[in-house]
Chain A
C-alpha cells in the first residue's frame, strides 16, 4: 500500500458507489470493495469497517437484498443485489451527485479565474 494517491471516501458517497457497483449484477462484499478500487484506478479505498455496516444498513433500508451463493473461487459468500427501491435510490443519488459535483466544480473554477 502506501499509495499516496488513495483517497478515503467522502461521507455519503459510499452508498452511491455500492449501488452503482451492484447495477451490473449481484456481488459479494469483497467483490464490491475490489470493484470500487479497480474501477477508480486504485484511487478510492473502501474500508471494510465502513463497507459492511453500510451494506447491512442498506439491506435494512430495503435498497439491497442478500443471499448466500458460491463465489468465482468456488467459495461460500454472501451476494448482494439491487432491489427496486435500490434502483430508485441509485438514480436519486446519482442526480444528487451530479448537482453537487457541478456546484463544487463551479466554485473551484470561479476561484481559479479570480486568481
Chain B
C-alpha cells in the first residue's frame, strides 16, 4: 500500500499494521473473539517485517513471552479480549513491577465470566485500577475510531518505552470489527529507536549483568522501588491526560463517554441540540490517567454531567471524583452486549436536562425511562 494513502481496514487489522509500523517486532497471542484478526494478521506480517509471531498455548504464556521479548529490548505486543485479559493480569503486574515496556490490546466484550462476544465497556475498573496484584498503573488509551486506534497504537509503543511501563489500548468489539478508512503512519526505523541499556541482550563481557526482576524481599528496598514507580505514575498523571470535546464550549449538560459509546453520544448531542438542549460531550481518551483537568474547565458552566457507558457504571466513578460533588452526575448504561442507540441516549439527555434545568425546551413529558438513569 502506498504511504500516506487512505485505505479501508478492519479495526483489528489496522491496529496490527500500525503496531508493525511502530516497530513492534514480537507478537504473541491466543485466539479469542472479537480480536482474532490481530493474531491472524500478525502471523504473517511479523515474519514479513523481520519479526516473530508465536501463537501461545494460553494468554498466560503469551503475556509472559511478551515480558521476555520486551525485557530483551524488543517492542512487543499481545492482544486479547476480556476473559483473556483477566488471565494476562498476572503478567501485566510483573511487567509493571519489572518496568518492562509492552503494549496490550483489549478488545472488550461483555462479561462477567464467559459473558458474550458483543461489545462492552465493563473492563474499565480492571483497566484503570491495576487489574493485577500490587500497586501499579498502566497508561490506558481508548480511541473512538479505527484511525484513532491506529494513532494511539503508535503512541502506545512510544509511551511504553518512554516510561518503561506497559500501556493498555482499550477498544471494544465494535472498534475491532468495524471497517473504516484509515491513513497509516510511516514505518519507523527500528534501528533508530532509543537504546535500552537496561535490556537483557547479553553482557557481551562489556558491562555488569542486567536483571529484569520484580522480586525484592527487603521491605525498605521494595518500598523505595515502589515509590520510584509512584513518581513515574505521578509524571504520567500530570503529562498524559488526553481528551476531546464536542459542542462542549457552551454546554450546560455535559455527556461523558469514551470509545464507541462516544460516537453514539455525539449523535445524541446533535439530536438534543435540535430540541434546544445545550448538550455537549467530553470524551476521555486516556482512561488512566483520567482527564480530570478537562473537568475543571467544564464544571463552572455545566449544570450536570451524564456518564454513558456500556457497563453498569464504572467510568462514572471517575467522573464523580473529577466533579467532586460540585455538580450532579447522572449515569446511563447498557450491559450484556447491548449497544445504546442515540435515541435512547436522547431520552436520558431530556430527563437529565429537565432535572437540572439545562434545557431551554420543555422536557418531553412521559419519556420512556430507559433502564439506567441514576444520579
Partners in one complex: no
Question: A residues engaging B (CB < 8 A)?
Answer: none
